[in-house]
Amino acid sequence: MPSPEPPHPELSSTVERSRLEAQRRSDLVAERVRTEPASLCVLTGDRPTGPLHLGHLFGSLGNRVRLQQAGVPTMIIIADYQVITDRAGTDRIAEHVRDIVCDQLAVGIDPAKSTMFTHSAIPELNQLLLPFLSLISIAELQRNPTVKAEAAAAGISAISGLLLTYPVHQAADILGVGGTVVPVGLDQLPHLEVTRLLVRRFTEAYGPCFTAPEALLSEAPVVLGIDGTKMSKSRGNAIELRHTADETAALIRRARTDSDRRITYDPQRRPEVSNLVLITSLCTGEEPRAIAERIGDGGAGALKQLTIAAVNEHLAPIRARRRELAAVGDDVLQVVRDGNVVARARATATLDRVTEAMGMIY
Ligand code: TRP
């Protein structure tokens, strides 16, 4: 795969500068996680569009558990209304919510330390949207690169009002429950910028009500699916946490590779082979290059055997816990019911401050 042409030189240096600035700020947040975890509040979450997979585990879930263990109060949204930003209908949504709850508990999210809640149970978050929507123009929303990319990824030509306002919903999610730290990938930064912009404008218009949240940039590498494109719930290319060891083996055996027998770690020129090496490395902790060298001329077959063993071994305890949780049935959702009470109390308190700041006390 050829690496993409750099954009216009001036633009690329602007992008580079803002990336460095984002990294610098994120490093400061990481430092505060170490020194004063209890003073922060992480807000993070997922849309319940399907079960979580290896990409989530190494990209966001592992980090989520680390933040929780570091003592940062953590709020985890299950963004059910946002499922319909880029697809029609809520097919199997209850099942997806249950899957996500089981996945997170299985990887180590502890309900005593982290609060899991569903967007639809917190109407106050949607009420916050009204003042927020008054503070941003349609042109600004239309310029948001993350929304454009999400629409393109979903193959959507007509962007709905809900998708266009997605970053504003996200701002309401974050600010409504008092999130001050949001773990993101670089691609999600523009969303968070909208939240920070809304805080500035709200403060100018009505006085201080919110603290602008900071991005905590993820260091996680992008994990590809078995077809060589980004691992994704909707592409059918994912190794899911809930899969069995046999299903995992069958999937990895089908993974795309290339015709060069010698195994090397070269993500730019050999993305598919390197991805299998990377997944193995993430599971075992061994350096990718050392793994590739060890296999050498063994070919893709030997690499796949190694990857299968590494993934299945790493996931075995997670899967065992997940099976126990899934066997509990709908009772596992009690965690969310409890979380909803906590999140709703926080959102109600925020909305009270907002309506007061806006003079709507009658
Ligand atoms: N956008 C996230 C996703 O697509 C889910 C989400 C909704 C979220 N609201 C949020 C993440 C607020 C962080 C903060 O999976």
Averaged pLDDT for residues 197-209: 98
Token pair for 289:
């290059």
Mean pLDDT of the 166-170 span: 96
336 Cβ closer than 6 Å to some ligand 1 atom: no
Q: How far apart are CA 62 and CA 75, in angstroms?
A: 15
More confident residue, 252 or 157: 252
282 exposure class (CB count in 10 Å sphere: 0-12, 13-18, 19+): buried
Query: Which pair of tokens denotes residue 309?
Result: 């063993």
347 three-state secondary structure: helix
Query: Which residues have C-beta within 8 Å of that of residue 183, sequence separation ≥ 6?
Result: 42, 44, 60, 63, 64, 67, 215, 216, 217, 218
163 C-beta closer than 6 A to ligand 1:
no
Taking only the tens place, the pLDDT of each residue in 256-308 is 999 999 999 999 999 999 999 999 999 999 999 999 999 999 999 999 999 99
pLDDT digits (tens, 9 = 90+) for 33-50: 999 999 999 999 999 999
- Calculate what percentage of the chain has a pLDDT beyond 70: 97
What's the pLDDT score for residue 10? Answer: 55
**β-pairing, 74-78 with 42-46?**
parallel
- Residue 1 pLDDT: 38
Please give the pLDDT value at position 145. Answer: 87
Ligand 1 centre from 218 Cα, in Å?
14
Condensed to tens digits (0 to 9), the pLDDT of residues 185-199 reads 888 888 899 999 999
The pLDDT, as a whole number, for residue 4 is: 46
In CATH terms, 9-220+330-357 corresponds, of 3.40.50.300, 3.30.590.10, 3.40.50.2000, 3.40.50.620, to 3.40.50.620
pLDDT per residue as tens digits for the range 47-106: 999 999 999 999 999 999 999 999 999 999 999 999 999 889 999 999 999 999 999 999
**Cα–Cα distances in Å, from 241 out to 58, 104, 244, 284, 328?**
11, 10, 8, 17, 17
Tell how far the Cα of 184 is from the centroid of ligand 1, in angstroms.
9
Residue 180 has pLDDT above 50, yes or no: yes
pLDDT of residue 146: 84
DSSP 319-333: HHHHHHHHHTGGGGG
Q: Rounded mean pLDDT of 141-146?
A: 90
* pLDDT range class, residue 179, cuts 50, 70, 90: very high
Residue nearest to ligand 1 atom 13, measured at CA: 44
* Residue 182 CB–ligand 1 contact under 6 Å: yes
Domain map of the chain by residue range? 9-220+330-357, 245-326
Which residues pair with residue 182 across a beta bridge? 215
Mean predicted lDDT score pLDDT of the chain: 94
Task: Summarize the confidence of residues 351-356 as an average pLDDT.
Answer: 98
Report pLDDT for 164. 95
CA distance linking residue 251 with residue 311, whole number of Å? 12
| Token representation of residue 351 | 């909305």
Task: Check residue 89 and give its pLDDT.
Answer: 94
Asked whether 272 and 255 are in contact (CB, 8 A), the reply is yes
Bridge partner list, 183: 216
Query: Does ligand 1 have an atom closer than 6 angstroms to the CB of 168?
Result: no
Per-residue pLDDT for 175 more than 60? yes
- Residues whose CB falls within 8 Å of the CB of residue 325, separated by 6 or more in sequence, listed in order: 101, 102, 105, 106, 332
pLDDT of res. 3: 44
Averaged pLDDT, 18-27: 91
What are 13-18's contacts with CB under 8 Å, separation 24+? Answer: none
Domain 245-326 architecture: Orthogonal Bundle (1.10)
Q: The pTM is what?
A: 0.93
pLDDT of residue 9: 56
- For ligand 1, atom 12, the nearest C-alpha belongs to 170
